[in-house]
Amino acid sequence: SQKIEQNSEALNIQEGKTATLTCNYTNYSPAYLQWYRQDPGRGPVFLLLIRENEKEKRKERLKVTFDTTLKQSLFHITASQPADSATYLCALMNYGGSQGNLIFGKGTKLSVKP
C-alpha cells in the first residue's frame, strides 16, 4: 500500500541544536516533495520544495535532502530557536499526478526549549 510517514509525532530539542525531521514514503514515485510549517490554530505554510533530481536544497537555516534510493527526505533546522516550535508536514507530488495529487504526512511536532 502507499504510505507517507514522518518519523515521530514529537521531537524535543535544546535551543541552538540542529533539529532533524524525517519523511519516508512507500510505493510512490514523487516528482517532488515539499515541507510545510503549521502553527497551532493556523493553516500550513509552505517552506521548501525539492525535486526528485535534486539532492539538497537550502533556505537560510533550513536544509532539505531527498534520497530517492532510500525513499526519504530529511528536513534540518540549524541553530534552532524556540520560535521554530511548530508542526512540520511533508507532502509529495506523485509522478503522473496532475494538480490534486499532493499527499501530506501527519506531521512532526517540534518543540525547541530555551
Partner 1 sequence: GAGVSQSPSNKVTEKGKDVELRCDPISGHTALYWYRQSLGQGLEFLIYFQGNSAPDKSGLPSDRFSAERTGGSVSTLTIQRTQQEDSAVYLCASSLALQTSGGWEETQYFGPGTRLLVL
Contacts with partner 1 by CB under 8 A lie at: 9, 31-32, 34, 41-46, 49, 51, 53, 89, 91, 93, 98-100, 102-107
Q: Tell me the C-alpha distance between 22 and 89, whole Å.
A: 10
- Cβ proximity to partner 1: between 17 and 106 the closer is 106
* Min dist. Cβ of residue 80 to partner 1 (A): 23
* Min dist. Cβ of residue 10 to partner 1 (A): 10
* Min dist. Cβ of residue 14 to partner 1 (A): 24
The per-residue b/e assignment along 7-26, b for 16 or more CB within 10 angstroms, e otherwise, is eeeebebeeeeebbbbbbbe
- Cβ proximity to partner 1: between 54 and 67 the closer is 54
Q: Which three cell numbers, joined as nine digits, stand for 55?
A: 539532492
- Cβ proximity to partner 1: between 69 and 99 the closer is 99
CA angle (82, 88, 91) in 5-degree steps:
160
First vs last Cα of the chain: how many Å apart?
41
